[in-house]
Structure 1
Amino acid sequence: MVSIYEALAVLAVGWVAAYLLYRVVKQRRGRGEEAASGSSVTLYPLFLIVKSRRITRPLDFLADKMPRLWDAVSRAAVAMGFGLMALAIYILSTNLSTYLFRPEQVGGQNIVIPLIIGVTIRLENLPYLFLAFAIVLITHEGLHGIAARREGLPVKSAGIFMIFIVPGGFVEPDEEAFKSASPGARMRVAAVGSFANIIVGMLALMLMFGAFMPQESGLIALQVDSNSRIKVNDIIVSVDDVPVNRGTLGTSITIKETIRIKTLTDEYVFDTNPDVRGREFTLGSVLRGLGVTQVDTFFPSRISWLDPLSAYNFYRTLYWLQLVSIGVAVFNMLPIYMLDGSLVLRAVLEKFVKDARHAKVIVNTAALLCIGLVVANISFTYATFGFFQI
């Protein structure tokens, strides 16, 4: 099996090869063709930007449709933006307080890690993560563009970028027009992106609760040894009639002459080694001994026509969509440079603080404090739990 580091090394080599090919093609084509098409591709080692002016046309079309709705959304987004900013600071502060003063209460709910593909995110989760990123970027940046057009701000282009394995997106308003816009207009344009993400995240959560039972009904086998009788994608529901789920993997059973494994579709009976009969082993150890090397939780679907594998993939898609959407919405409203929360804070200070120097001090102080909170939470997470992937 290819390790994470080998996969990242292959990707890095691929980036360099793509960059060299890009340089050759660009020298032959020249700049005229890109300018005529209204699109541009810029590629550096480990960094890609794809930009297009044509994407702005659908934004103009949508901005002209249902103008009252978009204006109402923009106003609501400002109120929600301040709420998300306060929520983000509160969560990070109380989380850090738990690490510092109540370490005995620290658990999985206190984990704060960056989503870095192939580093903190397991490679098998890439399809779900890329789909989630695509939906988040389209809705986030799309609503930025619509709000900008509703405020009368020209949008020069829109596009996507990728830094090694971290994707992103952007809508590029006219910089001078944005700077000269009223503070209220800048707040509305900046805040609507996170508003879109919250709506997407809540819809994903509603679908999860509506389409799936809240109780686990087993573990799905994601990886098995080549000689294992248990197959990949088998849903393991019990071992010797003891239910199998995340909470019971540490439960011990006494080994008898045989071990009976029930799945949703099959039943396996294994003869045991006489040397271990009468001894106790955890369910997790039993499954590993039978060749099951990686499992994940399985929630049964309320949709009768979904087979177990499709149900699992649908659940994981919704799970990652809500995780990324809500996570981006909250984090994006922190008053940190390069994030929308900083634009919102700058605009509101410009409106209510007359001295520009005082406003700049507040913005810089808020940014440094929030950066410190984020770094401290990530550091304590790894100091407590060690390196891990999700």
Structure 2
Amino acid sequence: MDGFSLEMALFFVFILIMGAFLFFKRKRLTIEWVLKPVIYLMLYKTKLGIGFIDFLAKKAGGLIRIIGYLFAVAGIAIMPLITWLLAKSFYDMAVAPGSVPGVGLVLPIPIKGVFYVPFSFWIISLFIIMIFHEFSHGIVAKAHKVPIKSSGFAFFGILAPLIPAAFVEPDEKIIKKAKTSTKLSIFAAGPVMNIVLGIVIVMFIFPLAVTPIQEEGLDFYFDIFGGSGIVNVTGVKVAGYMNFSEEPYAEYNLTSPAKLVGIPVNSTIQEINGVRIKTINDISRALEMAENTVTVTADGENYAFVPVNHPTEERKLLGIVPALEYTEATGEKYIAYGFLLTLLTWLWLLNIGIGAFNLLPINILDGGQMLKAILDRIISEESSKRIVSMFSWGFGIMLIIMILMSFLF
């Protein structure tokens, strides 16, 4: 069984297990309608993790409250940015039909319109994201003396249950009476924690994890649209020549020097001025060290010429479109390590994406709750409800249209 078939088999087994769980626990499920009778949440309430939340809030309540306030400031800063990005994506899609929508469903199903994530990475990432998200809400709430009524599993459904999740349920009546700063810190805790976790992974954890294989002369590749693993990079191929007739080059009347001297397309660059070339960064470093003329060795032939200067940046260009040539590293060690690095990559991508999405000003999302808390401080509750409802319907319709369009184009 190949990797794709195994992932799909695991997904269908998971669907069966989830279906059986929902059937046998149906009497303990609570349904919260988002858009009746189409979109809903099914909640299975427990007390899981509440003791841990109480312990952390008791031991470090002061520090947690400070972090919560910082997260509130970050959430308020990010909310207008992600709102603008969604609106811009919708506008771009409207004026240029056929362009790729900025949002879509993230599912382990490789069909048109779905942002496909292999099941193993999808379920592990989703579990970690939800745990950090929901427990952050709960821990900050408890640090502000807000009781936690329940926690448990949730299932987001569009007609049928689709996506498993988790939840922590603070006492909403007490939150409603809390200060605006307290509300904002509780609501922002989940999405901002996801964004922070994503940044920590990509800036610190991933570089540490990838170092051992790089010390062996190997590298990790990742294609968001399919494929990842540990590879042995053998060189840089000339995939084509740069198009200097486009911006920002058009007005400078440049020509590809690599094309002028006849470096063949699909040839492999081995050296530049005697420096071994294995990566695209090696080309940049070799050009930086070159004073004027460079000698490029491609498929055993030498080509001497003067590279062109980038018109707006301080760097030199060969005038090629580079592509890495590599072979897959084999062995159980590299397969396992490739899985770990791929998981870390999906974790930072999905943490940042889901965290930012949750800051949209839609009433069922954390961003909508934050917007209402801010407006309640400025205007009457009735007016704030009306404004949040307008934002929710407006951006909700945008999201639905963009998701539907992703299935068409």
Check whether TM > 0.5. yes
* 1:83 to partner: Cα distance: 1.8
Identify the range of structure 1 (46-55 vs 329-338) with the bigger mean alpha-carbon deviation.
46-55
Among 110, 117, 123, the residue aligned to 1:130 = 123
In structure 2, the CA distance between the partners of 1:91 and 1:299, relative to structure 1 (3 Å rule), is farther
Q: Which residue pairs with 1:199 in the alignment?
A: 196
Alignment-derived partner of residue 374 in structure 2 = 348
Structure 2 stretches lacking a partner, 5+ long: 32-39, 240-263, 268-324
Structure 1 residues 16 and 135: alpha-carbon distance in aligned structure 2, compared to 1, 3 A threshold: closer
Match of 1:170 in 2: 167
Q: Secondary structure at the match of 1:335?
A: coil
In the other structure, the counterpart of 2:314 is none
**Which residue matches 1:309?**
335
Percent of matched pairs sharing the same residue: 23
Moved more, 7-16 or 190-199: 7-16
- Sort the Cα spacing of 1:307 and 1:299 in 2 relative to 1 into closer, same or farther, 3 A: farther
For 1:70 and 1:234, the matched residues in 2 are separated by 39
Corresponding residue of 2:59:
65
Kept in 2, the 8 Å contact 1:237–1:243? The answer is: no
More strand by share: 2
- The 5 A counterparts of 1:281-320 are 307-320=333-346
Query: What's the offset of the Cα at 1:59?
Result: 0.8
C-alpha distance 3-235 of structure 1, shift in aligned 2 (>3 A): closer
Residue number in structure 2 paired with 1:157: 150
The aligned counterpart of 2:288 is: none
Q: CA deviation at 1:325?
A: 0.7
Corresponding residue SS for 2:376: helix
Are 2:46 and 1:55 equivalent residues in the alignment? Answer: no
Q: Displacement, 1:341?
A: 1.0
Aligned pair count? 301
Q: CA deviation at 1:191?
A: 0.8
Provide the C-alpha distance between the structure 2 equivalents of 1:167 and 1:298, rounded to a whole number of angstroms: 38
Residues 332, 83 of structure 1: alpha-carbon distance in 2 compared, 3 angstrom cutoff: same
2:402 is aligned, of 377, 380, 385, to: 377
Go from structure 1 to structure 2 and tell me whether the alpha carbon gap of 1:253 and 1:75 turns closer, same or farther (over 3 Å shift).
Answer: closer
> Separation in 2 of the partners of 1:132 and 1:97?
31
Matches within 5 A, 1:2-21: 17-18=20-21, 21=24
- 1:337: how far off? 2.3
Following the alignment from structure 2 to structure 1, what is the Cα–Cα distance between the partners of residues 229 and 14? Answer: 28
What's the offset of the Cα at 1:300? 9.8
The secondary structure found in structure 2 opposite 1:115 is strand
Query: Cα 1:7–1:63, aligned 2, differ >3 Å: closer, same or farther?
Result: closer
Aligned to 1:112: 103
Which residue of structure 2 lines up, in the alignment, with residue 208 of structure 1? 206
**Separation (CA, whole Å) in 2 of partners of 1:235 and 1:139:** 32
Cα distance per residue 1:314-363 (max 9 Å; x no partner): 2211111012111111111111122111111111111111x333222211
Corresponding position: 1:98 with 2:96: no
Instruction: Give 1:210 shift.
Output: 4.7
Q: Which runs of 5+ in 1 are unaligned?
A: 27-40, 224-231, 246-250, 255-296, 385-390
Q: Distance in 2 between matches of 1:20 and 1:211?
A: 41
Instruction: Provide the C-alpha distance between the structure 2 equivalents of 1:209 and 1:165, rounded to a whole number of angstroms.
Output: 34
Q: Does the 8 A contact of 2:363 with 2:388 survive in 1?
A: no
* 8 Å contact kept, 1:216–1:300: no
Letter in 2 for 1:363: V
Per-residue CA deviation, residues 199-242 of structure 1 (Å, 9 max, x unaligned), is: 1100111133454489977799xx9xxxxxxxx9895867xx88
- TM-score normalised over the length of structure 1: 0.64
Residues 300, 308 of structure 1: 8 Å contact kept: no
Q: 2:176 aligns with which of 175, 179, 185?
A: 179
Change (3 A) 1:9 1:127: closer
Q: Does the 8 Å CA contact 1:233/1:309 hold for their aligned counterparts? A: yes
